[in-house]
Amino acid sequence: MYEIVGEKEVYTLEDAQSLQKRQYKIQEYRNKMDLEFGYSPEKMLLVLKDRCHFSYQLSVHAQYLRELVTETIQENTLPLDLFKNQKKINYSP
């Protein structure tokens, strides 16, 4: 975390957005603030944990899609609705 936003006593909304890559809506960022004008280091670690969880979910989903496409190519078939029913990645920490 310190490598990304530095070591501080109070982190700003912009710090949280930088760490989280703007995955939250603005109200979610504000709801997660544990200090009057920002976040404590402990709270920022939770924001980082959420980001790691989201990144992991995204990589699992991407791997599944790679396998599906590879399998389809190997079978030499590509249905027009291949991605029609793909689940949207829902982020929920």
Whether 54 contacts 91, CB under 8 Å: yes
pTM: 0.60
Query: ∠ CA(76), CA(78), CA(80), 5° rounding?
Result: 160
Predicted pLDDT at 89: 64
pLDDT at position 59 is 80
- pLDDT value, residue 82: 65
| pLDDT of 73 | 75
Instruction: At 41, list the tokens.
Output: 């280091």
In the chain, where the domains are located? 2-74
Structure tokens at 85: 């029913």
Q: Low-confidence residues of the chain, pLDDT below 50?
A: none
